Amino acid sequence: MKKFLYGFGGLLIAAGIIGLINHISIAIKSVQAEQALYGGSIQFMMLQMISTFQPYFTCLIGGGFLIAITAFLEEYKKRSELTRQLLQALSNEKGHNHQEIKQAASNDANDVEQISVNASIAKIPDEVNEQDDRVYWQG
């Protein structure tokens, strides 16, 4: 598809350039012929012919636009592919790291739980512990 768009855009640009060259040469010949017959200013006659250049400029702009869009889509496709590969690599790496983090977190949780139990036992005075178990929740 991109080869077709590049080719069609190039064809439009070439048609626009060739058409402009041909139209300018024909316009100059016709202006010279009219000046010989009717007289008048060459600049004014050429100014009247400028509006007839529109189809050729449209071909030039359209061809350039097609080539620009095709180049943009090609680069966007490359960017999307690189982004997909990056996300895939990150997800694989994250999966390995996630398992390591889970193991470390479970070890840390056990350590923290053991430390908190030891600390709570150390903080509770013995006379309160013997009198009423409802004062402190040991969960």
Model confidence at 129, in pLDDT bands (50, 70, 90)? very low
- 23 lies in some domain: yes
DSSP 60-127: HHHHHHHHHHHHHHHHHHHHHHHHHHHHHHHHHHHHHHHHHHHHHHHHHHHHHHHHHHHHHHHHS-HH
The reported pTM is 0.56
Instruction: Confirm whether 136 is domain-assigned.
Output: no
99 lies in some domain? yes
pLDDT in tens, 90-126: 888 776 666 666 666 666 655 655 665 555 555 555 5
Domain count for the chain: 1
Query: Does 110 map to a domain?
Result: yes
